[in-house]
Structure formats: structure tokens, C-alpha cells
Amino acid sequence: MIWGLVERQHGVIAHRQLRALGLSDKAIEHRVQRGRLRRLWRGVYAVGRPLVTDEGWWMAAVLACGEHAVLSHDSAAALSGVRETGLWPIHISVPRSRAPRPRGIVVHRRNNLRSADVGEKLGIPLTGPVLTLIDLATKLPDKELERALNEADKRDLVHLEELREALENRRERGSRRLRRLIDRATFVLTDTELERRFVPIALRAGLPTPLTQVYVNGHRVDFYWPDIPLVVETDGGRFHRTALQQTQDRIRDQAHTAAGLTVLRFTHAQVRYEPDYVEAILARTATARDRAAPRARGARTRPPLRLGRAESA
């Protein structure tokens, strides 16, 4: 029975578990002195193994913090695959009534750990994906938090529509910021509003007025400059791009690149909230194409692009 529990717990066991399985304090201490048990924290041991895996340390940290303790924050994100982090320090959440302080463990005391917020992976208790992402939102910069959101979505741990709905009534620190990031990342402009906002950005970057919603190389594009030549595509709701949509995007970009066009992609949120960044990228791209133009003189001329005005839906 002891070995079965040890295997399920990745090579570690708690003193209270050994007592529940029939060992006396004297028998436990004897095994410690003989090296069959190695103390990791007070009341938690590695069993007969010189090395402890990451999973073993995470499990041991949960055991060291007592009942109702769960892996959380960066540690829960690492175990669930949402974010790669170092092993240390280990983050554990416990009920507010408890205040363990094991060395090397960051303990987060919570007013309430609801059953819906707690899960298990590889037998290790941890915060569920919603609470884990809320916790990450208290510390990560936007880009890293966005990567964690994308990874959770990709691994089917939580989908953005469901997460946004679940956040509606959450009040934990981090939940508001997470809501704002999702809303901004999935922001979508109408075609008319997109054109109204994007064209002035392009003009400020030194580009002429683009053609809009035309077919190039058999694909409808958002903005096109035949003389540069440059295609700009704008993606709305980037968190919701399905695998099929992403494949179609790549096929479109590959067709344009093979025909000698430069392809840039911006999100609707970048056009709306980061116009200076979009302008800078457009200006740098146009300058780079201008510098490359003299080197292309005398090159074999490509067949003309198939260009046609897109019909409105």
C-alpha cells in the first residue's frame, strides 16, 4: 500500500500518510536514519530515490502545506503546460485560515477556493485554468499573458468565449485585467471603420492611398499597393482563428510571397489601439522596398498579377 501511494505521488509521501498506513513515529524515524526516507520539508519525504522530479517537488510542496493546499500561479501554469517557468520558487494556494511557511514555497492565502477552481493533473492538486490565468494576470506583462492565453486555448484547457463569460462575475485581483486583454485582443472593426482608421495611418507612413478589398493572386486582400508591391491583411478576433483559418492565411501569404509581394498582417486591435506602431512598420517596410528596388533592376519581369475588384457580399 505504501509503495502504491508513493508511486502515485511521484516518489514522495507525508508523515501523516505514513502514520495513517500503520507506521509509528519510531519506525518512520528509523527509516529516515537509514536513508530510506529523505526529508524534503518538515513532515514530507522522498522515498528511496536520490533524485526528485519536478512533479515530485510539486507534490511534496502540496503535502508540506497541508490539507486543501493546491499548486497555483506559475507552478500550476507550468504543470498544465500553459507557461514554461523554472521550478523554484513553488507557488501553493491554501485557505486563509492556514499559514504554512516552508522554505522555497510561496504561499498564497485565499478567502475561498471553490471546487470549480481546483483540478488535478498527474495526481497533483492544482488551480484550474480559469483561476490560474487570473493569477498570472496579476504579474505577467501583456505579451506573456497573451501567450499563456493562447497556449491554454490551443491545449483546449479553456476557450476564450467560455473564459470571457466565466470572468464576468469574478472579482479576484487579475480578473479585470484579463477581461480587458481578451476584449482588446478579440476587438473587431467593421470594414468601413477599418478602412477609415487604417488609410490615414498608411498615408502618414508615406504610402499612397491603397486599393481596398481587391483580388490579388486569386485571393481577396484588405489593402494593396501594386507599385511597392505590398499587401496588408488585418485579422479581427485573433484568439478565434481556427486551424483551418490559419492554414488558409498561410496559403494566401505564400501565394503573394511567391509572386514577389511583401505581406504584412496587423490585428484590428493594433489598428485601433497601436496606430503609431502600425505606422512605423509600414514606413520601415516601404523604405526597405525602396532600397531593394535598384538591386532588382534588370531582373526578369514576373507575369502580371491577377487583379480584380472584390464584389460586396
Compute, in degrees rounded to 10, the torsion defined by CA atoms 195, 277, 153, 78. Answer: 180
* Class of residue 22 by CB neighbours under 10 A (exposed 0-12, middle 13-18, buried 19+): exposed
Average pLDDT on 226-232 reads 92
Average pLDDT on 139-165 reads 89
Q: How confident is the model at residue 286 (pLDDT cuts 50, 70, 90)?
A: confident
Q: Judge whether residue 233 has pLDDT over 60.
A: yes
3-class SS of residue 161: helix
Strand partners, 52: none
Task: Enter the pTM of the model.
Answer: 0.68
Question: pLDDT tens-digit profile of 200-217?
Answer: 999 999 999 999 989 999
Average pLDDT on 178-191 reads 82
Average pLDDT on 280-308 reads 63
Q: Say how far apart CA 46 and CA 236 lie, in whole Å.
A: 51
> How crowded is residue 37: how many other Cβ atoms within 10 Å of its Cβ?
22
Strand partners, 225: 230
Q: Say how far apart CA 34 and CA 229 lie, in whole Å.
A: 76
Set of cell numbers at residue 240: 478565434
Name the pairing type of β-strands 118-121 and 105-110: unpaired
Q: What is the DSSP letter of 238?
A: G
> Which amino acid appears at position 311 of this protein?
E
Set of cell numbers at residue 40: 524534503
Q: Say how far apart CA 42 and CA 81 lie, in whole Å.
A: 29
* Structural element, H or E, at residue 266: strand 262-267
Taking phi over 0 as left and psi of -120 to 50 as alpha, with beta for the rest, 160 belongs to alpha
Q: What pLDDT, on the 0 to 100 scale, is given for residue 237? A: 62
Q: Which domains, and CATH codes, for the chain?
A: 1-52 (no CATH), 67-185 (no CATH), 191-309 (3.40.960.10)
- Tell me which of 26-30, 75-79, 222-226, 306-310 is least confident: 306-310
As a whole-number percent, the residues of the chain with pLDDT over 70 amount to 89
First to last CA, the chain: 68
As a whole-number percent, the residues of the chain with pLDDT over 90 amount to 60
Question: pLDDT tens-digit profile of 11-68?
Answer: 999 999 999 999 999 999 999 999 999 999 999 999 987 789 999 999 999 999 998 9
Q: Judge whether residue 240 has pLDDT over 60.
A: no
Q: Say how far apart CA 72 and CA 126 lie, in whole Å.
A: 6
Q: What pLDDT, on the 0 to 100 scale, is given for residue 309? A: 46
Average pLDDT on 145-153 reads 90
User: What Å distances lie between residue 131 and 68, 108, 112, 128, 182, CA to CA?
Assistant: 16, 13, 12, 6, 15
Helices (H), 137-274: 142-154, 160-167, 175-185, 191-204, 243-258, 268-273
